[in-house]
Amino acid sequence: MSIPETAKEIHLVDYPTGKPTPEIYEVVEAPVREPGDGEILMRVVFMSVDPYMRGRMNPHVKSYIPPFQKGEALDGGAVGQVIKSNSEKFATGDYVVGYNGGWREYYTGPTDGFNKVDPSLAPLSAYLGVLGMPGFTAWAGMSQILEPKEGDVLFVSGAAGAVGSMVGQLGKLKGCKVIGSAGSTEKCDWLTGELGFDVALNYKDYANSTELTKGLSQAAGKGGVNCYFENVGGMHLEAAINCIAFGGRIALCGMISNYNDTKPEPGPYNLTNLIGRGVKMQGFIVSNFMLLARDFYAEVGPMLAGGKIHFRETVYEGLEKAPEAFNGLFEGANTGKAVVRVAPDTA
């Protein structure tokens, strides 16, 4: 495959206040650099949009990952084909997935965080979702923090998203009663239909945490919620803390309802419940568990191949759609994993 002289990438022009607007991005035609020693040149097929990228648009907030720089290309997960390799790790023609390489048509750079993928086992885009970072996040939060047991009641917010849809299915496979929350009837129907959740709550039917507490309490039954997988924050966290069982566990994975806030929202009013009920609440970042990646693939690969795990993707066509795809995360536009097809999938 020939190497083009230039290709498109999306640059950050300005940091957003609140929800990102189209003006903060610029599509730039940039030179395609030849790979140096130990580097690869990858033709990107799919790129990922993920909620954590909003945190990288806050230049003054100290985080586990540095902010994007104005005037430079954005970055993030991508899957594609190596078209030139100066690395011993990959050969020309290999399909690879990495934590870098998104928001552009071609990636030239080091291979850290890149792994070879087998396009005959799953569609390439799945390596950004169910078999990628979000699937691994779900698996890690469940296996390393919540540790659900048969008969436990598991509640997951953001349940129709990339992480949440996996969490609920893993819970069902463990023999839990699974309650999910999502933002539309269609999403709730998917949860209780194809994914086998026991109950799905459309959180838009509940005006505040008191109302949501009533709905969740009724769904959970007398014993309450043993495990809560937190993706959303705000009234979801308050309702979950109200309903948490004695000895319950809460995994703090994300709080997407706060990511575009321009001032901090008050925290949950009811944390005292955690003391008397002996609840463990623990935050985590998926990279904390990177050494367990092989265990994730060993467990989830066969589940997927055996039809025990289902997934959906919302695919945006063309690199220029990346900003729209990203904003869609905050608007509930995706069901399952949101990805952008940057080039035809030739695998």
Ligand X SMILES: NC(=O)c1ccc[n+]([C@@H]2O[C@H](COP(=O)([O-])OP(=O)(O)OC[C@H]3O[C@@H](n4cnc5c(N)ncnc54)[C@H](OP(=O)(O)O)[C@@H]3O)[C@@H](O)[C@H]2O)c1
Token pair, residue 70, equals: 């104005």
Asked if 158 touches ligand X (CB under 6 A), the answer is yes
Q: Shortest distance, CB of residue 265 to ligand X, whole angstroms?
A: 11
76 binds ligand X (CB under 6 A): no
Question: What does the alpha-carbon distance between residue 284 and residue 282 come to, in Å, rounded to a whole number?
Answer: 7
Distance CA 197, CA 200 (A): 7
Contact status: 334 vs ligand X (CB under 6 A): yes
Cβ burial 160-198 (10 Å sphere, 16+ → b, else e): bbbbbbbbbbbbbbbebbbbbbbbeeebbebbeeebebb
- Dist. CA 12–CA 70, nearest whole Å: 5
For residue 231, count other CB atoms closer than 10 A to its CB: 26
Residue 209 as a binder of ligand X (CB under 6 A): the answer is: no
332: contact with ligand X by CB under 6 A: yes
Among 45, 128, 145, 232, binds ligand X (CB under 6 A): 232
Comparing CB distances to ligand X, the nearer of 178 and 329 is 329
Interface with ligand X (CB under 6 A), residue from 209, 226, 231, 327: 231
**CB proximity list for 85: less than 8 A, separation 6 or greater:** 35, 40, 41, 91, 92, 94
CB of 134 to ligand X, least distance (A): 5
CA dihedral angle for residue 74, residue 78, residue 80, residue 86, rounded to 10 degrees: 70
Q: Which is nearer to ligand X, 81 or 137 (CB)?
A: 137
Contact 286, 140 (CB under 8 A): yes
| Contacting residues for 218 by C-beta, under 8 A, at least 6 apart | none
Task: Give yes or no for residue 293 binding ligand X (CB under 6 A).
Answer: no
- Considering the complex, what minimum distance in angstroms separates the CB of residue 207 from ligand X? 13
Q: Which residues contact 272 (CB under 8 A, 6 or more apart)?
A: none
Q: Figure out which of the listed residues 168, 180, 254, 323 binds ligand X, where binding follows CB under 6 A.
A: 254
| For ligand X, the closer CB: 107 or 190 | 190
Per CB under 6 A, 132 contacts ligand X: no
Asked whether position 189 contacts ligand X by CB under 6 A, the answer is: no
Per CB under 6 A, 180 contacts ligand X: no
Identify the residue among 101, 164, 171, 180 touching ligand X (CB under 6 A).
164
Which one, 9 or 50, has the nearer CB to ligand X?
Answer: 50
- Check binding of 323 to ligand X (CB under 6 A): no
Stretch that binds ligand X, among 14-22, 29-37, 47-55, 106-114 (CB under 6 A): 47-55
Phi and psi of 315, rounded to 5°?
Answer: -105, 125
Nearer to ligand X among residue 19 and residue 70 (C-beta): 19
Residue type, 308: K
Does residue 15 belong to the site contacting ligand X (CB under 6 A)? no
Check if the beta carbon of residue 131 is closer than 8 Å to that of residue 46. no
Does the footprint of ligand X cover residue 191 (CB under 6 A)? no
Which stretches of the chain are DSSP H helices? 52-55, 133-140, 162-173, 185-192, 209-220, 235-243, 272-276, 293-305, 322-331
What DSSP character marks residue 336? B
- 122 touching ligand X, by CB under 6 A: no
Smallest gap from Cβ 28 to ligand X, in A, equals: 26
> Nearer Cβ to ligand X, position 38 or 328?
328
- Contact residues toward ligand X (CB under 6 A) are 50-52, 134, 137, 158, 160-164, 182-184, 187, 203, 231-232, 253-257, 284-286, 329-330, 332, 334
